[in-house]
Amino acid sequence: MDKKLLGIDLGGTTVKFAILTESGEIQQKWSIETNILDDGSHIVPDIIDSINHHLSLYNMTPEQFIGIGMGTPGSVDIEAGTVIGAYNLNWTTLQQVKKEIEAGTKIKFTIDNDANVAALGERWMGAGENEPDVVFMTLGTGVGGGIVMNGELLHGVAGCAGEIGHVTVDPNGFECTCGKRGCLETVASATGVVRVARQLAEEYAGGSILKARLDNGEDITSKDVFELAEKENDDLALMVVDKVTFYLGLACGNLGNTLNPSTIVIGGGVSAAGEFLRSRIETYFKEFTFPQVRESTKIKLAELGNEAGVIGAASLAK
């Protein structure tokens, strides 16, 4: 019988699980709530219980699995299989995730950070088309990324390779949580888009629904900005989209010039803006790349949605 892979996507609100074939087809999937109480001490035991429960439910044994792969927030030591500093899980001290899960399930375990794992997923079964050189960028609450070169994730000397969110796109820009200025994350995350909108609104004097809503003190989201730009042709919203996609195109251009991947995949909540967003990033990407890169590196939208995590995690186990 063919051996299976088990992928886990650990997040601050849910833990998603999937059993996959070696060729990446999801056969079973389920999820549990993430219990972050008591310093996140329930998370790993809950994961072990859930795996063992589902294996017995499906009449499966640990021997039928090649391994378990997991994507997690926080700083990951991939060799030791430990995690620290995952604040949305309340994991502030070192967590022996690999050791505990291997002991509790009797299945080999591999772990990496969530953005890297999503990059593997999109590279394997999504927009990356299983090409060896793929860059993934996720535009969500923050901006994350993962870089696959020659079929392998890049980690760097301190595990920081692929931290695309902290690429500087405006040296005089907004302060970032990392301590420097003008990081891509400060302008292209969901909150970043709203920050750009507020900044441009201050100097804007024309007629705009977005401007009126901001002046009224309404809460707006990045989704509102993209919808007003695309559907209402709102002047200020279009200016915001132009500025955000300029920064994204600049970052993608420099990634393209440095790495020349077959594809730069754009995912995360902000990418729900779809082709309207992608085509504008591509226009600036072309402006900031030299001819050979411009012609060979493509800008694409992510295809796997929230399954990228479990699929990429499963591929870690291969």
The amino acid at residue 297 is T
Q: Is 264 in the site for Zn ion (CB under 5 A)?
A: no
In 109-232, which residue ranges form alpha helices assigned H by DSSP?
114-125, 185-188, 190-202, 209-215, 222-232
CB of 12 to Zn ion, least distance (A): 20
303 DSSP assignment:
S
Query: 3-class DSSP state for residue 201?
Result: helix
Residue of 203, 69, 202 whose CA lies nearest to 124:
69
In the bound state with Zn ion, the residue whose beta carbon lies nearer, of 174 and 276, is 174
The full length of the chain comes to 318
How many residues of this chain interact with Zn ion, rule: CB under 5 A?
4
CB of 166 to Zn ion, least distance (A): 4
What is the rounded CA–CA span in Å between residue 265 and residue 103? 36
In the bound state with Zn ion, the residue whose beta carbon lies nearer, of 135 and 176, is 176
Q: Which helix (H) or strand (E) holds 149?
A: strand 143-149
What is the rounded CA–CA span in Å between residue 209 and residue 206? 10
Q: Cα-atom radius of gyration of the chain, to the nearest Å?
A: 21
| Number of C-beta neighbours around residue 266 at 10 A | 26
| C-alpha 212 chain-centroid distance | 33
In the bound state with Zn ion, the residue whose beta carbon lies nearer, of 178 and 212, is 178
In the bound state with Zn ion, the residue whose beta carbon lies nearer, of 24 and 146, is 146
Site for Zn ion in 155-194 (CB under 5 A): 166, 176, 178, 183
Query: Between 7 and 46, how does the x/- string for binding to Zn ion read (CB under 5 A)?
Result: ----------------------------------------
CB of 184 to Zn ion, least distance (A): 8
Cβ–Cβ < 8 Å for 105, 48: yes
CB of 170 to Zn ion, least distance (A): 12
CB of 262 to Zn ion, least distance (A): 27
Site for Zn ion in 294-313 (CB under 5 A): none
In the bound state with Zn ion, the residue whose beta carbon lies nearer, of 95 and 186, is 186
Cβ–Cβ < 8 Å for 269, 304: no
132 DSSP assignment:
S
CB of 235 to Zn ion, least distance (A): 30
The amino acid at residue 136 is F
Strand order in the sheet with 152-153: 152-153, 143-149, 134-139, 263-267, 298-301
CB of 228 to Zn ion, least distance (A): 28
Q: Which tokens belong to 90?
A: 């309340």
Residue partners of 94: CB distance under 8 A and separation at least 6: 82, 83, 84
Query: Between 122 and 161, how does the x/- string for binding to Zn ion read (CB under 5 A)?
Result: ----------------------------------------
CB of 58 to Zn ion, least distance (A): 43
In the bound state with Zn ion, the residue whose beta carbon lies nearer, of 166 and 280, is 166
Q: Which residues bind Zn ion (CB under 5 A)?
A: 166, 176, 178, 183
